[in-house]
Chains A and B, each alone.
Chain A
Amino acid sequence: MSERFRVGDRVRTSTVDPDHHTRLPNYVRGRVGTVVDSDGVQPLADLRAQGVERPQPVYVVRFTARELFGHGDHTVTLSLWEDYLSDE
C-alpha cells in the first residue's frame, strides 16, 4: 500500500470531532507534528468499529508539548492513521 507521507514530513491532524468511535485523541486534533516512522498498515479503527475492515498506512507522529498544550519541553508521540492527517 503506497504511503502518502514520509519520515520528516510535517503533518496536521484533523479537527473533526466525529460522532463515532475514533482513535485520534482530542488533545491532538488540529495540531502540527512530524512523521518520525511508519507504523505499518492497520485497519482504520473508526471503520473497524462499524464492522468495516479498511487497512491503511499508519504513521508515528511526534508533537512538541508546546504545540499541544502551549507549555512544556517534552514531546508526545502517537500512531495516526492516514485519514487523520493532511499536509501542514
Chain B
Amino acid sequence: MSDDHDDSPIAARVRELEAVLEEKGLLDSAELDRALEAFAHKATPANGFRIVARAWVDEEFKARLLDDANSALPAIGLSMGGGLQVQRLRVVENTEKVHNVIVCTLCSCYPIALLGPSPTWYKSPAYRSKVVSHPREVLKQFGFELPDDTEIQVWDANAETRYMVLPRRPEGTEGLSEEELASKVTRNGLIGTAAV
C-alpha cells in the first residue's frame, strides 16, 4: 500500500482491516496495489462515453454490446477486469418507447472498475429508496422530464451483474465524429438520470 496516510477514523479502520487480512493470508498487498492502480488511472466515466459513441456509429458493436457487453469491450481497448474480480456488465438501451434507470437499493453496486466511482447521490438513501417506487418523480428532480407514454424500466443491481445505460443518440448529431459524440454523453446519462 502507499505510504500516504490519511488521519480520518475511516482510514485508520481500513488500515487495520487491511493489516488483519494480510496477516491471515486473505489479501495480497501487491494484488491490492495493482487493483487500486487500475481503479485510479483506468476507471473513468470517459470509458462509458466512448462505449456509447461507438455504439451510436457501429451497429455491429452495438448489437454485441447489448447481447454480451463483456465480450464487446475489448474492441475499443476496455474490459471489466480492472477490479479484483471480473464482473458481468449488462448494457440496457434507451429507445423511443423505453427509458432505463439504474439503482442499487441494497448498497451502491456500480461498474466502478470500468466507470470509476459512482456519484454521491447514487449512494444516498433518498435516491435508492425512491427511484424504484417513483422513478418519474425522481427524474423530475434531476430536471429530466420524460413523455407520459415512455415506459420506465428500473434495474436494481442487487446481485453480481453491473449495469450501464446506452442513451439515445441526440438529434442533429449526424455529422459529428465519434470523439465529438462521446463528448455529448454525461455520467448521469450512463445511469439514466439524464437523457444523454
A contact set with B: CB distance below 8 Å:
23-25, 27-28, 39-40, 42, 45, 58, 62, 65, 68-69, 72-81
Would you give the shortest CB distance from B42 to chain A, in whole angstroms? 25
Say which residue of A45, A69, A73 sits within 8 Å of B159 (CB atoms): A45
Does the CB pair A69–B161 fall under 8 Å? no
Does the CB pair A23–B88 fall under 8 Å? no
Would you give the shortest CB distance from A73 to chain B, in whole angstroms? 7
Say which residue of A27, A40, A72 sits within 8 Å of B105 (CB atoms): A27
Q: Which 8 A-B pairs have the closest CB atoms?
A: A79-B159, A74-B152, A76-B154, A78-B156, A42-B160, A69-B133, A23-B158, A77-B155
Known contacts A42-B159, A58-B160, A79-B158; A65/B151 CB under 8 A = no
Say which residue of A68, A73, A78 sits within 8 Å of B133 (CB atoms): A68
Does the CB pair B132–A27 fall under 8 Å? yes
Known contacts A72-B134, A74-B135, A75-B151; A40/B88 CB under 8 A = yes
Q: Which residues of B contact A27 (CB under 8 A)?
A: 105, 132-133
Q: Which residues of A contact B159 (CB under 8 A)?
A: 23, 39, 42, 45, 58, 78-81
Q: What are the interface flags for B132-144 relative to A under an 8 Å C-beta threshold, 1 for contact and 0 otherwise?
A: 1111100000000
Q: Does B153 contact A (CB under 8 A)?
A: yes
Q: Which residues of B contact A58 (CB under 8 A)?
A: 159-160
Q: Does B106 contact A (CB under 8 A)?
A: yes
With A58-B159, A75-B151 given, name 13 new contacts (CB 8 A): A23-B159, A24-B158, A39-B161, A42-B160, A58-B160, A74-B136, A74-B153, A76-B153, A76-B154, A76-B155, A78-B155, A79-B158, A81-B159
Does the CB pair A77–B153 fall under 8 Å? yes
Q: How far is the CA of A72 from the CA of B138 in the complex (A)?
A: 13
